[in-house]
Amino acid sequence: MPDPGPSPLQPGPPAPAARFGAPALADALAPARTDGAAAAAAVLARALPSRPVLPFGTAPTAAAPAAHPPAPAAAEHSPAALERILRGPAGLGTADLHWARPQPPAAPPEGAGPPAPAAMRPIPGLYHHPVPEPDPVRVEELSRRIKSWAVDEVQAFPPEWEDQFDGFSVSRYMVACHPDAPTLDHLMLAARLMVAENVVDDAYCEDGATTPDVGGRLLLAHTALDPVHTTKEYQPAWAESLSADAARRCYASAMDHFTRSATPSQADRFRHDMARLHLGYLAEASWDVTEYVPEVWEYLAMRQFNNFRPCPTITDSVGGYELPAELHALPAMQRVIALAGNATTLSNDLYSYMKELRSPGKHLNLPVVIAEKEGLSDKEAYLKAIEVHNDLMHEFEAESAALAAACPDPRVARFLKGVAAWVDGNHYWHASNTYRYTLPDFW
């Protein structure tokens, strides 16, 4: 069945964090992550304004000013008061002044027992946070919808790739990474983009797919996200190009759905993050073509761009709210996003190490580059790469807690929680995807 098409993602009452079985918002940055977060939670409790949170895309009005009222005295915010504030305004006429309403999880099929938890094999010594098993009913319905989009709507892959598509388990991935998504329509925004990003990586850049014209191909694919504005004579040829291959069909369709639900500011943020990603793809491709092995710091720089960043940074669009552009642009927020992206991407280097050793040529990842440039054994280099990942995770969590304390806005707190949830869900997916990844025998 074709995807139901663009949906006016309706806001509704807030999704209290507890509804998804996750800790209350203030706890999300709690000591479980870093000592600083207890202070962050306390500041959050003091500072959460009681003004209504507007559904994204709603212009601030006199009734709901964009500016923060002065934070009330700390004494006014007991935990109960914090819970009330996070729940949002209540009473007659307030139904629209909330974050998006989550669909109640559908009842499991008749006679279905509890889902078998995915077989988890976390890398020994890798710092991570376990996540609840993704809701199997959401996973199953999202699988049906994303497969229909990929096969029927955009012809994302040839029939011979179907097993790989199924083995990628994109629906389990996205449900785990977006626990606060209010509806399946919101989850589909993330799932389509995830599939498209991987189709472009696989078709243009991975495992021998790199061709000398990869720069031109990536730029033309990028225009499916960031449209060309040219003359009436040449515009039709560009528009027609968007259906020329699977990569561009996927990007064009996924971006069309995204821009119909996200705000212009969120769409522009995403385009910027995808330009970063494509710059990283190009650097990786140029080193592949020239057989250059970078210094470790050069590799880490490239991996900050060839990076999962465009996935966690849509957490607000998928959650049905908006982190305003001026808060997203804060240098401290940019640092938190970069640290989270770096940690979660190096987690991929560690889980995909054996897969990449088997691929053609020398597939660069952190353990391989450390071994070659620092003269370490494969095992010593792998263990050092784990430490690099862990250091970045701790830095991400410390900076996130400090930002939550320094910028006491519920949208900042929720966005930071969403980024952390994406990092944790991404680890869950890598550690449980035994179809795609196997671990070295270093322990």
Ligand X SMILES: CC(C)=CCC/C(C)=C(\C)COP(=O)(O)OP(=O)(O)O
Nearer to ligand X, 27 or 202 (CB): 202
Contacts of 421 (CB under 8 A, 6+ apart): 22, 131, 177, 178, 179, 180, 315
Residue with Cβ nearer ligand X (266 or 345): 345
254 contacts ligand X (rule: CB under 6 A): no
Residue showing the smallest CB distance to Mg ion in the complex: 352
**Interacting residue with Mg ion among 352, 400, 432, 433 (CB under 5 A):** 352
307 binds ligand X (CB under 6 A): yes
Residue 308 is a binding residue for ligand X (CB under 6 A) = yes
The DSSP letter of residue 155 is -
- The letter for the amino acid at 267 is A
How many CB atoms are located within 10 Å of the residue 442 CB? Answer: 16
Per the listing, tokens 């097993």 go with 163
Q: Which of 34, 266, 348, 426 is close enough to bind ligand X by CB under 6 A?
A: 348
| Shortest reach from residue 294's CB to ligand X, in Å | 15
The reply on whether position 288 binds ligand X by CB under 6 A is no
Of residues 187-216, those binding ligand X (CB under 6 A): 194, 197-198, 201
Q: Rule CB under 5 A: say whether 344 interacts with Mg ion.
A: no
In the bound state with Mg ion, the residue whose beta carbon lies nearer, of 313 and 344, is 344
The nearer residue to ligand X, 135 or 197, going by C-beta atoms, is 197
Neighbours of 96 (CB within 10 A): 13
CB 284 within 8 A of CB 366: no
Closest approach of ligand X to the CB of residue 158, in Å: 18
Max CA-CA distance within the chain? Answer: 68
For residue 201, the partner it binds in Mg ion, ligand X, none, with Cβ less than 5 to 8 A by kind, is: ligand X
* 319 belongs to the binding site for ligand X (CB under 6 A): no
Q: Which one of Mg ion, ligand X, none interacts with residue 226, CB within 5 to 8 A by kind?
A: none
Does residue number 342 form part of the binding site for Mg ion (CB under 5 A)? no
With CB atoms as reference, the residue minimizing the distance to ligand X is 352
Is residue 348 involved in binding Mg ion (CB under 5 A)? yes
Q: Classify residue 91 as left (phi > 0), alpha (psi -120 to 50) or beta.
A: left
Judged by beta carbon distances under 5 to 8 A according to partner kind, the member of Mg ion, ligand X, none in contact with residue 320 is none
**Count of residues interacting with ligand X (CB under 6 A):** 13
266 binds ligand X per the rule CB under 6 A: no
From 277, 333, 370, 413, residue interacting with ligand X (rule: CB under 6 A): 277
- Residue reference for tokens 């988890």: 120
Residue 161 and residue 140: Cα distance in Å, rounded?
20
In the stretch 373-402, what mask flags binding to ligand X with x, by CB under 6 A?
------------------------------
Residue closer to Mg ion, measured from CB, 315 or 352: 352
369 lies in the binding site for ligand X (CB under 6 A)? no
Residues near Mg ion (CB under 5 A): 348, 352
Residues near ligand X (CB under 6 A): 194, 197-198, 201, 277, 306-308, 310-311, 345, 348, 352
